[in-house]
Chain A
Amino acid sequence: MIRLLRTLRAEWTKALSLPSIIGALVAAIVVPPALAVASGLSLDPTVAAASSFPIESHGFETAGFGQPLVILLAALVAGTEYSGGQLRTMLLADPRRGRVLAAKLVVVTTLAVFVGLLGTTAAVVLKHATLGEHGLSLSEFTAGMGWNLIGVSINYVLIGLIAALLTLLTRSIVVALAVLVPLVLGVTLSLLGLAPLLKYLPDVAGMQLLTSYPGVGLLDPIPGGIVMATWTVLLGIAGWLAFRARDTGGG
């Protein structure tokens, strides 16, 4: 256990001492609230009040834009290991590969929770503030909104782990980004009408954890989250098997 804590401490220092990772972290926290403010200011309040958009969901609609940044963040945390042969140094420092992998995934999880809680809370609070009297005041926030906040964090953790594991499996940040970012930006969602089975893909399954998308035929938040978590576990097993067996000399 103490050995894991040492490796974890090293992983933290690694994550927080690279400008690219810090940049992605800041962007992931700042972009959703900024979009929330922009959308709040551009919304005609009388229309907003009259529309069918549930008032509790204000702010959460920006969570989908945090996703690609969480993917970037996680891919960087995993993928910068392959830059300059750093992984070799890591495995010299801790030759137990399971521990190295576990520490990496703990860092990704923690960062994703942090981004989810901080960025989404800011987005929701700011959105309602910009809506003025048509929004909710802080004291009017509901338990449902709290659950939604947790849902976003779970979604971020799972998509972050998927991105990190995919990066590890392919040893390439670019491949992970090229596969995942178009997915979360709506490619699969737009094909859902043609192929309803696509709702079981990892990016689509957990979508309603972010906010409700009524009428599209998506899985409900909890079953969707379970499907997404299953994907994550399967990728985790594949990642562990590949990482354990691989010779690391060249990389």
Chain B
Amino acid sequence: MIEISHLVKRHRARTVVDDVSFTARPGRVTGFLGPNGAGKSSTLRILLGLDRATSGTALVDGVPYRSLDRPLWTVGAMLDGPGANPGRTARSHLTWVAQSNAIPRRRVDEVLDLVGLRDAARTRIGRFSLGMGQRLGIAAALLGDPEVLVLDEPTNGLDPEGIRWIRLFLRTLADEGRTVLVSSHLMAEMEKTADDVVIIAGGRVVAAGSAAEVRGEHDSVEEAFFALTDERHGRPAGGSEGIAP
């Protein structure tokens, strides 16, 4: 369970996260959607203790990330790729991550199997394709078999097959009862995966609820998004051309 409440992040005069509140529940894939620069990554970084909030709270199972003793047993995360030094092999990267949280060594091979990287275990990460890198990031997120997963743009740069793999994988994880929060700027793509949707634009949540609720009378979540942001900007609803808030 992830609870974000009245979260604000300011960089000097610029407000990048503006009173954001939402909840991501167990057993569901929550899509955190919005255009690039909407404040998705900033929100997730605060949730994961990497940045500090100006005000508000972001809690995982009721506590801030920084107060977790062995966080990887509770939360698995991938932000902006695998976060791995390119000089290391996949296995040694996962090994040090496991050691840092006293995760048994055998989990390294288990997660390599899970994401289909077993054959690349001894390959240097610098030689990985984009898709392999994303898989490595997901493998690291799964090391502690966490109940909560936070993935920032996991499909970025992937080919259709890779996107399909991630989509099915997220579905499986949620069906196992986990909380899955996944951000994307590609709304059409996430609509097929997400049970719940939170739409953010210009640092503010513009819509939240089940995918059906957010869609409303529109044909798709994307259409609903454009309608919502058009209203906010005082333009007539319905047109979807040239929107890049």
Interface residues of A (CB under 8 A from B): 3, 6-7, 9-11, 13-14, 17-20, 80-81, 83-96, 247-249
List of A residues within 8 angstroms of B82 by Cβ: 84-85, 89
**A18 engages B100 (CB within 8 Å):** no
Per-residue interface assignment for chain B, residues 154 to 173, with 1 indicating a CB less than 8 Å from any chain A CB and 0 otherwise: 00000000000000000000
State which residues 64-89 of B face A: CB under 8 Å.
65-66, 68-72, 77, 79-89
Q: Cβ of B41 < 8 Å from any Cβ of A?
A: yes
For A249, what are the chain B residues with a Cβ–Cβ distance below 8 Å?
41-42, 45, 50-51, 79
B52 interface hit (Cβ, 8 Å): yes
Report if B140 contacts A (CB, 8 A).
yes
Can you identify 16 A-B contacts, CB atoms within 8 angstroms? A6-B70, A6-B102, A10-B99, A13-B99, A17-B88, A17-B92, A80-B87, A81-B85, A83-B87, A84-B85, A84-B125, A86-B83, A87-B83, A93-B71, A94-B100, A247-B52
**Choice from B41, B51, B68, B99 contacting A248 with Cβ under 8 Å:** B51
9 new A-B contacts, CB < 8 A, other than A6-B101, A95-B66, A249-B45, are A80-B85, A86-B83, A88-B80, A89-B84, A94-B71, A95-B68, A248-B50, A249-B42, A249-B79
Residues of A within 8 A of B87 (CB): 18-20, 80, 83
Please tell me if the beta carbons of A88 and B99 are within 8 angstroms of each other in the complex: no
CB pair B102–A88 under 8 Å, yes or no, is no
- Asked if residues B79 and A88 are in contact (CB atoms below 8 Å), the reply is yes
Q: Contacts A10-B99, A247-B45, A249-B41 known; A95 to B71 CB distance under 8 Å?
A: yes
A96, B81: Cα distance in complex, Å: 22
Which residues of B from 136 to 162 have beta carbons under 8 Å from A? 140
Asked whether, in the complex, the Cβ of B49 is within 8 Å of the Cβ of A91, the reply is yes
CB <8 Å contact, A18 and B42? no
Q: Please determine whether B48 and A92 come into contact, CB atoms closer than 8 angstroms.
A: yes
Q: Is the CB of B50 within 8 A of A17?
A: no
Closest-CB distance, A83 to chain B (whole angstroms): 5
Residues of A within 8 A of B41 (CB): 249
Give the residue of B45, B50, B66, B84 whose beta carbon is less than 8 angstroms from that of A86. Answer: B84
Cβ contacts under 8 Å, A17 to chain B: 88-89, 92, 95-96
Please state if B85 and A10 are interface contacts (CB–CB under 8 Å).
no
Option from A11, A18, A247 in Cβ contact (under 8 Å) with B51: A247
A217 to B52, CA, bound (A): 49
Kindly list chain B residues whose C-beta atoms are within 8 Å of the C-beta of A6.
70, 99-102
Q: By the criterion CB–CB under 8 Å, are A83 and B99 in contact? A: no
Evaluate contact between B140 and A89: CB separation under 8 angstroms: yes
**Is the Cβ of A13 less than 8 Å from the Cβ of B96?**
yes
CB distance from B115 to the nearest CB of A (A): 16
Residue B186 is within 8 A (CB to CB) of chain A in the complex: no
Pick from B65, B81, B100, B140 the residue with the most CB of A within 10 Å.
B100
Name the 9 nearest CB pairs between A and B, nearest first: A10-B100, A17-B92, A89-B83, A93-B100, A13-B96, A85-B83, A247-B51, A95-B49, A249-B45
Question: What is the distance, in angstroms, from A127's C-beta to the closest C-beta of chain B?
Answer: 35
B80 close to A85 (CB less than 8 A): yes
Give min CB distance, B131 to chain A, whole Å: 16
Q: What are the residues of chain A within 8 A of B120 when measuring CB–CB?
A: none
Cα distance, A102 to B78, chains bound together (Å): 25
User: A18-B87, A88-B79, A93-B72 in contact; A9/B65 too (CB < 8 A)?
Assistant: no
User: Which residue from chain A places its CB closest to the CB of B140 in the assembled complex?
Assistant: A89
**Interface presence of B97 (CB below 8 A):** yes
